[in-house]
Amino acid sequence: MASPGGKYFIQDKLAQPAEHHASFEALWETKWKPLCDKGIYPFMYGTTEDFEPVVNKIIAAGLKPPYDWDEYASHFFIQAHGLVVQAANSQDKKRASELFMRASALYRIARFPAPRSEKQQIAWIRGKEAALEGLKLQKYPMVEVEIPHIHAANGDGEVLRAYYHLPAHAFPDHQVPLLIIFTGLDGYRTELAVWKDGWAGLGVALLIIEIPGTGDNPGAPSDPESPDRVWSSMFDWTGQQQCIDQSRVVNWGFSTGGYYSIRLAHTHADKLKGVVALGGGCHHMFDPEWLDAVDSLEYPFDLAHTLCYKFGYGTDFERFKKEARDRFSLLSNGILDRPGCARLLLVNGTEDEVFPIDDYYLCLQHGDPKEARFVGGTKHMGEPASFAIILQWLFKLLEIPGDVKKFLSTIPFKAQYLR
């Protein structure tokens, strides 16, 4: 741990439950509504006007932890379906795209933080359908690609599904850089597509992929080595893309995706010009003490139990807590001390209550030298300052002219067809 005496950097915060865990009404009023008003995570492509009717029904039903996830998800379906119908009947391409994306936002929050129930699984499927329809109609269209998982083993699936945008001016004799985004615990490719326009405007191809145990990643969730196999199949595919400059391939992992980016920087260094791990972890994120505390901290729902589900333990939290650190820690399995790490930038907020900043101090103490930028006084991922820090680093690394302010202006969602 980073602090003296074997304590976490935010040790005193572990016993201070966040007020939003009292009920869904508290979550909406104290944490989510301001984010929805701005159209930012986790409400990418969403509007308060779309969500308020649903929120009012959930509040009236008195939902609070522990949630009945089927009951929770069921409140979103009518509103989301109505937007899909409007989109399908629209003759205006831009309007149809917006309506599909707004529907996908409702379905996303319905399956949030992970599709652990039958109706949440339905919401995930319908959200994918709506998002893909909307993304196809945009100025910079995004398509779904099916990457054969040729290195599959030990219970892996056969196909890695991803969203991909290749700039129109890319040709074999005019190659472009590629950014591979690893999504997080709850944000999947359907919403991390929000980064597309900024990179497309700079002529950078974008590939968005979920991590094992989430979305459509085929990696066996409980196998610590499954991501290595998935990424090998991914790089076999990207290496065949003749319009991509293979010397300018970079990776950016968000939140739990940052854990996988740290591993990737050590296991596939020869494929990458650079890697960013934003808000990730590597070892202490699996501490039993940490897992016992985080269900009531910064994260909107039951973080530790969602991680338990994601890593293939289902609802067996006690077994997950007992085994996770020895099984998945990048320190315990020797990854951090493996020589030949790719250029790696570690970014997070010092007050992170999702994954301890202590993990990044640990990274800096092992293996090859790394770069780091900690954002003081901020929580998970160090937002919003972290985005500008990372973009500037990537612009320089890829040798592309980029205006950070202009780029970031493409992220917040602003609906144009509310009436």
What structural domains and CATH numbers belong to the chain?
Answer: 14-138 (no CATH), 141-419 (3.40.50.1820)
4 CB contacts (<8 Å, ≥6 apart)? none
Confirm if 301 and 113 have CB atoms less than 8 A apart.
Answer: yes
Q: Is 352 a known active-site residue?
A: yes
* CA dist., res. 13 & res. 290, Å (int): 11
- Percentage of the chain with pLDDT > 70? 100
**Coil, helix or strand at residue 146:** strand
Is the peptide bond between 66 and the residue preceding it cis, with omega within 30 degrees of 0?
yes
pLDDT in tens, 128-138: 999 999 999 99
Ramachandran area for residue 9 (φ above 0: left; ψ -120 to 50: alpha; else beta): alpha
Confidence of residue 115 (pLDDT cuts 50, 70, 90): very high
For the cut 90, the answer to whether the pLDDT of residue 243 exceeds it is yes
Amino acid letter, 9: F
- Locate 175 and state its tokens: 């190659």
Q: Is 255 a known active-site residue?
A: yes
pLDDT in tens, 10-69: 999 999 999 999 999 999 999 999 999 999 999 999 999 999 999 999 999 999 999 999
- CA dihedral 123→161→280→11, nearest 10 degrees, is 30
pLDDT in tens, 350-407: 999 999 999 999 999 999 999 999 999 999 999 999 999 999 999 999 999 999 999 9
Q: In terms of DSSP bridges, do strands 274-278 and 244-254 run parallel, antiparallel, or are they unpaired?
A: parallel
Confidence of residue 4 (pLDDT cuts 50, 70, 90): confident
Among residues 104, 255, 261, 329, the one annotated as catalytic is 255
Is the peptide bond between 17 and the residue preceding it cis, with omega within 30 degrees of 0?
no
Among residues 156, 186, 352, 359, the one annotated as catalytic is 352
Residue 6: burial class (beta carbons within 10 Å; 0-12, 13-18, 19+) = exposed
Q: Is 228 a known active-site residue?
A: no
Helix ranges restricted to H, 272-384: 288-293, 303-310, 317-328, 358-364
What pLDDT sits at residue 419?
73
